[in-house]
Amino acid sequence: MGAPVAAPYRSTWVDSTGSTGTGETWHDEKTDAWQFRAISHVLWGGTSWKGHVEVVDENTMAWTFAEHAGLIKTMEMTGTSRRR
């Protein structure tokens, strides 16, 4: 039997445009990476979000993020964040 899987961190939000959303994030201790997914609801429909954050070293994180409205990818971002 493998190691126990931690329950996801859950989130909810409301923004100034009236959008609401719910999401879940998981941490993989072996790779020190975070996976997340969320669903957002707005007056004109909804979107789904997925992302990945990897801790490269104690001063660097690499991340990727995408948003979809149905089958259409509406946004995609990737980047690296470094501590100053």
Residue type, 24: E
pLDDT for res 31? 87
Q: Is the pTM of this model over 0.85?
A: no
Cα-to-chain-centroid distance, residue 39: 10
57 in Cβ contact with 63 (< 8 Å)? no
37 in Cβ contact with 50 (< 8 Å)? yes
d(CA 75, CA 69): 9
Q: Does position 15 have pLDDT exceeding 80, yes or no?
A: yes
Q: pLDDT by residue (tens digit) across 16-56?
A: 888 899 999 999 888 889 999 999 998 878 999 999 999 99
Tokens of 27: 């941490």
Q: How many residues does the chain have?
A: 84
Cβ atoms within 10 Å, residue 18: 9
Q: Does position 12 have pLDDT exceeding 90, yes or no?
A: yes
